[in-house]
Amino acid sequence: MASSGRIVFSLVILLSLVYKSTCISCYYCNSANNTACLDVNMYEDEIRARLIPIVKCDTAIPSSIAPSFFCRKIVQTIFHPHRDSEVRVTRGCGWVRDERDCYKDDNSDHLGTVCQCFNDLCNSSDTVDPAGMTILFMVLAVTLHFWR
């Protein structure tokens, strides 16, 4: 009986991970019209929830465009010809993946860094951190330790 309990528990965990991966939530903002978007981590959870919109990518963007969404953060330094340059941060959903987690997007009118990540609200950080797999590994290790 204990073996069937383990199988059911493993299936529940596996199914919850599959659901989470197909329905990702991301911060959705642009610092051009929402200065809180520059650094979402400087706010406490309650205030951040009122200032920074969160979207579920599969409902915010028609799924016929992309079968697999992820979160993206773009940091650009925009060069203006007749005034000081400006830093702009855009956070949202992406659907065309790059092979790199982060890459540079530089041209004559801006310098940019684009980072993509694959966990809920992961586009809040300064850099993309592969913490999702670390957490999953830790949960698995603790679970296996206590099942002995």
Domains and CATH numbers, the chain: 2-147 (2.10.60.10)
Amino acid at 55: V
Threshold 0.75, pTM exceeds? no
Q: Which of 4-18, 33-47, 56-70, 117-131 has the highest mean pLDDT?
A: 33-47
At 78 the three-state DSSP class reads strand
CB 24 within 8 A of CB 71: yes
E-state strands within the chain: 25-27, 29-30, 54-56, 70-78, 86-94, 102-104, 110-117
Report pLDDT digits (tens) over 84-128: 999 999 999 998 899 999 999 888 889 999 999 999 999 997 644
Q: How confident is the model at residue 68 (pLDDT cuts 50, 70, 90)?
A: confident
- C-alpha to C-alpha distance for 2 and 130, rounded to whole angstroms: 34
More confident residue, 65 or 16: 65
Looking at the DSSP bridge assignments, the partners of residue 93 are: 71
Is the pLDDT confidence value at 129 over 80?
no
Is the pLDDT confidence value at 144 over 90?
no
Mean pLDDT of 53-69: 79
Burial bucket for residue 72 (CB in 10 Å: 0-12, 13-18, 19+): buried
Position 75 scores a pLDDT of 97
Residue 26, C-beta contacts closer than 8 angstroms, at least 6 positions apart = 54, 55, 57, 69, 70, 71, 72, 91, 92, 93, 120, 121, 122, 123
